[in-house]
Amino acid sequence: MRKVVLVPGDGIGPEIVASALKVIEASGAEIEWGRIEAGKKVLEETGRTIPPKFFDMAMVKGPVATPVGGGFRSINVMIRQRLNLYANVRLVKSVPGVKALHEGVDIVVVRENTEGLYSGIERESSIGTVETVKVTSAEACERIGRFAFDYAEAHGRRLMTAVHKANILKKGDGLFLNSVSAIAPQYPGIKFNDMMVDNAVFQLVTNPKQFDVIVTQNLYGDIISELCAGLIGSLALVPGANFGDNLALFEAAHGSAPLIAGKGIANPTGVILSAAWMLDYIGMSTESQSIVKAVYKVLGEGKVLPQDMGGSATTQEFTEALIDAMG
Ligand code: NAD
């Protein structure tokens, strides 16, 4: 029996996490879940956004809402910074049979998770003018560069593309690009190139198959990974993980989708694939594989599809189809 921390989150979080728990149970994986709340409700009740007992080797988390244009600071960003989960990885892979803008997409987006424009440093320098500080340190750039190359090497990837805007942000993005470029020669088996972020999004939409692994800074990675989700047919198809040196937190790429929360129609695929990734991470690769296979089978057949993918299945019906497919 392995211990894993579970954070159901806000909005659709509890519904999709409940679905993931059923699928994990059906896979035969024996997990002792340490359930922890983190979010707006906890903040209001306890004055803390993250409970003190949060640390564990592996965590599965549902999405957590953040107020727009004011209010408390993003709990997601705080968790990532406090636990030093410096690398965010999102796997954007076409599912055969699923209708999408492009087929055969297989891109890994590695995003620096602790600084950049998510530093939280903003000031009103004069009335009507706000300055937002983008923090870029050599240490964080080297760390994410090395992580990306190590990930690529360990997973048989062949091309690394560093995405930046170093023509305009000469110092900050320049430091990122120089740091990653300096690491590249240490990985001769992986081709390296770089692309400006504006060109990168155009290239992604028109010819996504030219990409393999993308390494980039915080905000660019956030935007690029959701754009990539659009290429493969649903925001809910993309699993994600945040890695630190000895910790990993697995969560879908999407947010708490407040407009559909409580309706029982959310697509749980992202959190299910993230949870399957967690199982692999803790050494339960057989159980992980059986979940991934079931997801591919059900989505590929297209008979029971969640509503955001053009089907009519509820979260529960889709979950049952996955469990049947594992049969
Ligand atoms: P969102 O990802 O919640 O929703 C974007 C769109 O995709 C909406 O139309 C939504 O209905 C749809 N969608 C998302 N997930 C879906 C699913 N599983 N099934 C079906 N449809 C789905 O993004 P948003 O609306 O910009 O943000 C809502 C909240 O989520 C905000 O408070 C934001 O801060 C938070 N958020 C949290 C995380 C996280 O916890 N990691 C990530 C992104 C956004």
54-82 pLDDT per residue, tens = 566 788 999 988 888 877 778 888 888 88
39: left (phi over 0), alpha (psi -120 to 50) or beta: left
How many A from CA of 255 to the centre of ligand 1?
3
pLDDT computed for residue 1 by the predictor: 77
Would you state the torsion angle of the CA atoms of residues 73, 221, 255, 31, taken in this order, to the nearest 10 degrees? -100
Task: Return the bridge partners of 196, or none.
Answer: 164
Q: Tell me the C-alpha to C-alpha distance, in Å, between residue 164 and each of 47, 141, 248.
A: 38, 12, 26
To test the ligand 1 pocket, which listed residue (223, 235, 250) has its Cβ within 8 A of the most ligand atoms?
A: 235
Which residue ranges in the chain fall short of pLDDT 70? 48-56
pLDDT computed for residue 70 by the predictor: 79
Tokens of 181: 């470029």
How many A from CA of 191 to the centre of ligand 1?
34
Nearest residue (CA) to ligand 1, atom 26: 255
pLDDT computed for residue 81 by the predictor: 84
Binding-site residues, ligand 1, Cβ < 6 A: 12, 16, 63-66, 76, 235-236, 251, 254-260, 266-267, 270, 308
pLDDT computed for residue 112 by the predictor: 97
Nearest residue (CA) to ligand 1, atom 16: 236
In contact, 31 and 2? CB cutoff 8 Å: yes
Q: Closest ligand 1 atom, CA of 258?
A: 28
User: What pTM, to 2 d.p., does this model score?
Assistant: 0.95
DSSP 8-state secondary structure symbol assigned to residue 135: B
Q: Closest ligand 1 atom, CA of 75?
A: 40
Tokens of 51: 């409970």
In contact, 18 and 6? CB cutoff 8 Å: no
- Which are the contacts of 137, defined by CB distance < 8 A and separation ≥ 6? 115, 175
pLDDT computed for residue 40 by the predictor: 72
CA distance 320 to 177: 46
DSSP 8-state secondary structure symbol assigned to residue 116: B
Nearest residue (CA) to ligand 1, atom 18: 267
At 325, which helix (H) or strand (E)?
helix 315-326
